[in-house]
DNA sequence: GGTATGAATATGTCTATACATATTGAACAA
DNA sequence: TTGTTCAATATGTATAGACATATTCATACC
């Protein structure tokens, strides 16, 4: 029997998906599985660990390994730079800095993102200069704030929200659509250890689709 | 020096985030790091592997390990059952099956999901009975199709799309809003090995927010 | 110059062993 | 009954050693 941890993983996953090991059920211990597959316990451990990371199994010392009760799947999307998102569509990216304003330690920016010259999204951003003083002297007319931040402001964590909103007068003017047109709007905050780095509202052009993989 | 792979991971991550090891740069080999940290190569391997899984590092045999050039972060959301989503808001879940129709091997369903009696989302679903004959005889008035499928139709993969759409007459009637109100609409397909299991369009009630963690 | 060949090397993975640690459940005490 | 203690046990993790595999680089060859 060939003994790779990936093969062990595949076989265990198959048993889970085929209900041979039902949700909530206890599966054999690592030692037993190692004997069955004819490999070392470490190999089984590697496989089960990977499955636990992916949410298929729940493992606790002494208590053993169970098939996850609610196999709540995670959907993933990559948080790409807008330029790359546009280029991935085979279009030419462009952007225009519409507004730049400093109020205290808060830098406000408005940027229009374009794909082949057409409006792609309108961005309204605030950057906290106390946590990121370099942003005060950066030239966002060349590199967009979106891309500059990805390269210069590594963040710990953040959150994103998608909402459906009718286009405001501001949105409509820059996205070249009617007011109240349904738009997909993204709100995002990112934090470093010190605190919030930036907050952004991005209204996408009409018809924009966000895709996730499950 | 205490030697846990998590500590090695933490220290390496610190160096990446502090630009001590710049993006695109080659980092020391596993043997060198093991010597520095005073642990076995396998321990360093475990740590670097984890960081590579998270997208911080790119590793290739013989070529060595590099700090990822574009630390393209992934945003995650859990694909929960609607009932749990509603209950997580502290509200009482309810649903009504509005329509059930079989055309050939295609089962069509329309379901209204409710939170505290108010409309939460209106679902339009197709299920392929050739891949899932059991769905033909299930009673979706008790357990919603959404939940029944999660429990009975393990899937390999799938995709989701979010769009912003104006409420159709159908949406508006059931979600109790004006026509053309901006709605967040979810399209989802899930596949098993055999083929597509189900396709669904879910129009959320006005004001719905989708949150993701980065 | 361009191409084939092979040695060197960094990561990938498996093994056997050992000890750590959390948790369970039984035995026992208050 | 309730609480405490303790041994048993499944997973967590570290280690040294070995071999596999991909890739690079230098070298030899045409």
| Domain limits, chain B | 5-67, 82-204
pLDDT score of A2 more than 60:
no
Q: Give the pLDDT score at A1.
A: 44
Q: Give the pLDDT score at B71.
A: 64
Would you call B88 an interface residue with chain A, using a CB distance cutoff of 8 Å?
no
- 């004959």: which residue's tokens? B133
Q: Give the pLDDT score at B72.
A: 66
Q: Give the pLDDT score at B2.
A: 47
Q: Give the pLDDT score at B152.
A: 81
- Which of A155, A165, A213 has its CB closest to that of B159? A213
Residues 173-212 of B with CB under 7 A from strand D: none
The per-residue pLDDT for range B37-70, each reduced to its tens digit, is 888 899 999 999 988 888 889 998 888 999 987 6
Distance from CA of A192 to the nearest CA of B (A): 10
pLDDT score of B122 more than 50:
yes
pLDDT score of B6 more than 70:
yes
Give yes or no on whether B5-67 and B82-204 have one common fold.
no
pLDDT score of B28 more than 70:
yes
The per-residue pLDDT for range B66-119, each reduced to its tens digit, is 998 766 677 888 777 899 899 989 999 999 999 999 999 999 999 999 999 999
Q: Give the pLDDT score at A78.
A: 79
Q: Please report, rounded to a whole number, the percentage of residues in chain B having pLDDT higher than 90.
A: 57
Ranges assigned E (strand) in A46-171: 57-60, 64-67, 73-79, 93-103, 106-115, 118-128, 157-166
- Which of B23, B158, B210 has its CB closest to that of A162? B210
What would the mean pLDDT of A103-114 be, rounded to a whole number?
96
CATH architecture observed for domain A82-204: 3-Layer(aba) Sandwich (3.40)
pLDDT score of B184 more than 90:
yes
Q: Give the pLDDT score at A71.
A: 65
Strand D close to A133 by CB, under 7 A: no
Q: In chain B, which residue's Cα lies nearest the Cα of A16?
A: B154
Strand D close to A58 by CB, under 7 A: no
Report chain B's mean pLDDT, rounded to a whole number: 90
Report the C-alpha dihedral over residues A95, A98, A103, A108, rounded to 10 degrees.
-40
pLDDT score of B1 more than 70:
no
What would the mean pLDDT of B127-156 be, rounded to a whole number?
88
CA separation (Å) from A135 to A146, A151, B20, B37?
12, 12, 21, 36
Interface test with A, best of B54, B198, B212, B213 (most A CBs within 10 A): B212
Q: Give the pLDDT score at B95.
A: 96
The per-residue pLDDT for range A122-152, each reduced to its tens digit, is 999 999 999 899 999 999 999 999 889 887 8
Name the residue closest to C20, CA to C1'.
Answer: A61
Chain A / chain B CB contacts < 8 angstroms: 134
Would you call A73 an interface residue with chain B, using a CB distance cutoff of 8 Å?
yes
Q: A5-67 in CATH: which number?
A: 1.10.10.10
Strand C close to A63 by CB, under 7 A: yes
| Interface list for A 118-147 with B (CB within 8 A) | none
Lowest mean pLDDT among A51-55, B26-30, B155-159, B178-182: B155-159
Interface test with A, best of B182, B184, B190 (most A CBs within 10 A): B182
Residues of A within 8 A of B171 (CB-CB) are none
User: Distance (Å, rounded) from C-alpha B182 to C-alpha B165?
Assistant: 6
Strand C close to B31 by CB, under 7 A: yes
Vertex B101, ends B97 and B106: CA angle to 5°? 120
CA separation (Å) from A125 to A100, A108, B107?
10, 6, 46
Instruction: Name, of A49-58, A147-156, B171-180, the range with top average pLDDT.
Output: B171-180
Lowest mean pLDDT among A10-14, A72-76, A87-91, B98-102: A72-76
The per-residue pLDDT for range A155-187, each reduced to its tens digit, is 778 899 999 999 999 999 999 999 999 999 999
Distance from CA of A188 to the nearest CA of B (A): 9
Would you call B17 an interface residue with chain A, using a CB distance cutoff of 8 Å?
yes
């Amino acid at each position: 029997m060939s003994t790779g941890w990936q093969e062990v993983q595949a076989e265990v996953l198959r048993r889970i998906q085929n209900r041979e090991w039902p949700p909530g059920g206890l599966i054999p211990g690592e030692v037993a599985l190692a004997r069955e597959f004819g490999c070392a316990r470490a190999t089984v451990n590697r496989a089960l660990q990977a499955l636990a990371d992916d949410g298929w199994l729940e493992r606790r010392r002494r208590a053993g390994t169970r098939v996850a009760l609610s196999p709540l799947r995670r959907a993933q999307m990559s948080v790409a730079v807008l330029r790359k998102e546009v280029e991935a569509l085979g279009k030419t990216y462009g952007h225009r800095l519409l507004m730049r304003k400093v109020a205290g330690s808060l830098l406000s920016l408005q940027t229009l993102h374009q794909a082949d010259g057409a409006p792609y999204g309108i961005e309204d951003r605030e950057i906290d200069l106390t946590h990121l003083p370099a942003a005060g002297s950066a030239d966002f007319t060349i590199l967009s704030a979106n891309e500059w931040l990805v390269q210069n402001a590594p963040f710990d964590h953040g959150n994103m929200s998608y909402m459906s909103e009718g286009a405001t007068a501001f949105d409509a003017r820059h996205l070249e659509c009617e007011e109240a047109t349904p738009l997909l709007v993204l709100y995002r905050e990112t934090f470093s250890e010190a605190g919030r780095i930036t907050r952004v509202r991005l209204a996408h052009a009409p018809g924009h689709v966000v895709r996730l993989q499950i």
